[in-house]
Amino acid sequence: MNSPVTGEDFAFRQGFALRQSQLDQPEFLIPLRNDEFLPALSRWTTLGGLVLLSAMGAATGLAAVTPSPVLVRAGAVVRPQGELKVVQANAEGTIESVKVKTGDKIQRGQILATLDDSRLETRQRQLEGSLQQAQLQLQQLQAQVTTLETQRLAEQNLTERAIASARADLLRIERDHTDRKAVAEKDVQESEALLAAAQTEYEAYAAAAAAGVLPRVQAEGKHQAYKAARARLERAQTTLNPSAASITMAQESIAQTLAQGNSTLANLQRQKEALLQQQAQIRQQMGQERQELAQVVKDFDKMNIRSQTDGDVLTLNLRNEGQVVRAGDVIAQVFPEDASLVIKAQISPQDIGQVEVGQRVSMRVSAYSYTDYGTLEGVVSAIAADAIAPQAQAGNSTVSGSAPPYFEVTIEPKTRSFAQRRAKICDYPWNGSPGRYCGSGRDGSHTDFAQSRLLTGI
């Protein structure tokens, strides 16, 4: 049973029939002319070709053996060498104003930012008012002390005068007593002498009367005279020791006056000491308030955040006014003016084998046009011993593993500035400005260089 003919079978059969018909037709040769053949090569052409082939062979050989520097390109940043100077807040407070920005040149003692000092101003006014009030109290107490001192001196003078008067009376009384005693002694002596004379005369008359020479009346008269002399002696003897009561009274008067004066003076002294004690307490309080006021004045200076060195502001951690800072918070990092610079390049692990310490480096600074300023020369001074994996920043969802690791290479520039082609000298940026590392690695052949460029497509 015959199968149906498809389109492909039909096309095949048609093509086969066409080729068969072509084979059945006779072939004809096309005649050629003499001018259609290539001319014969001349001697100079042959010689030139040989020279060209020889030159190409020599160039290929030289390219295979002549050393060619292998360039390693990487990004780099300019960083200060050594530690940065940190500017910290000396007190807690709220940022009132920011005076500088990142990259500004600053001088030692320059104010970078100021804190709100309204609280210190209020405290200063309170302390100054308290000191004025305390000073007024001291003046009032001093006036009272002066009054008490005047009163004490007056009382002391009065007491001294009263005692002097009492002592004068005592001296007068003592003198009167002495005089009376002396008079009494004289009277006793006189009475004794009269008594002795009367007794002698009486005895003589009594003997004469007993002998009958004189009458008894005369003897009796002498006897009465004797008795009168003895009575006078006895009376004189009673006044021999006058009473000392007046002296005692005068002495007691002096003692009372002295005691009363001392009591008054002691009372005045106690009042004075109480006032002096109050003054001492007020002065002590004033001393404390003055110390606090001096501290407030120092705190006013702490409200000004100042730089401790000359240099440039590398980082500024103040976002806006009204930001709250604490004592010890890092406000800014300052790159010292006299510090040296180093350049940190990030070399990929594939190229790190081409980099060695001491190699020459040419760098372009992104902040300046390469065509105008040229390159900056430097030397590799250190190579990191291990690769560094970039750390993910806070708030960045990209994990650290997504960024390739790198080796950090330290480059020491030969100069801190470079010249423009029109002889203009410029300092290249230092504050982390980007640059491009282009260092010469190990030497290789030109063929290796061309092969690497062809393989990498660069």
Pair of tokens at residue 329: 């918070």
Q: What is the average pLDDT across 228-236?
A: 79
Domain residues of the chain, as ranges? 66-81+340-453, 83-116+303-337, 120-296
pTM of the model: 0.48
Mean pLDDT of the chain: 76
The larger pLDDT score, comparing residue 430 to residue 332, is at 332
Distances (CA, A) of 237 to 97, 182, 226, 244, 291: 113, 12, 17, 17, 85
Contact 367, 426 (CB under 8 A): no
Contact 349, 384 (CB under 8 A): no
- Supply the pLDDT for residue 3: 47
- Supply the pLDDT for residue 15: 53
Q: Which of 191-195, 211-215, 436-440 has the lowest mean pLDDT?
A: 436-440
> Helical H runs in 303-445?
370-373
83-116+303-337 fold: OB fold (Dihydrolipoamide Acetyltransferase, E2P) (2.40.50)
Q: State how far the Cα of 16 lies from the Cα of 4, in Å rounded to an integer.
A: 19
Angle of helix 118-211 versus helix 245-302 axis, rounded to 10: 170
**Out of 1.10.10, 3.40.50, 1.10.287, 2.60.40, which CATH number does the structure's domain 120-296 have?**
1.10.287
Query: In what side-by-side order are the strands of the sheet with 304-306?
Result: 304-306, 111-115, 93-98, 324-325
287 pLDDT higher than 50: yes
Distances (CA, A) of 201 to 65, 68, 194, 214, 226: 183, 176, 10, 13, 8
Measure CA of the first residue to CA of the last residue in the chain; give whole Å. Answer: 68
- Supply the pLDDT for residue 20: 52
453 pLDDT higher than 60: no
- Supply the pLDDT for residue 277: 92
**Out of 3.40.50.1970, 2.40.128.30, 2.60.40.10, 2.40.30.170, which CATH number does the structure's domain 66-81+340-453 have?**
2.40.30.170
Q: Which of 56-60, 232-236, 399-403, 411-415 has the lowest mean pLDDT?
A: 399-403
- Supply the pLDDT for residue 451: 53
Q: State how far the Cα of 401 lies from the Cα of 392, in Å rounded to an integer.
A: 9
* CA dihedral angle for residue 38, residue 43, residue 47, residue 53, rounded to 10 degrees: 20
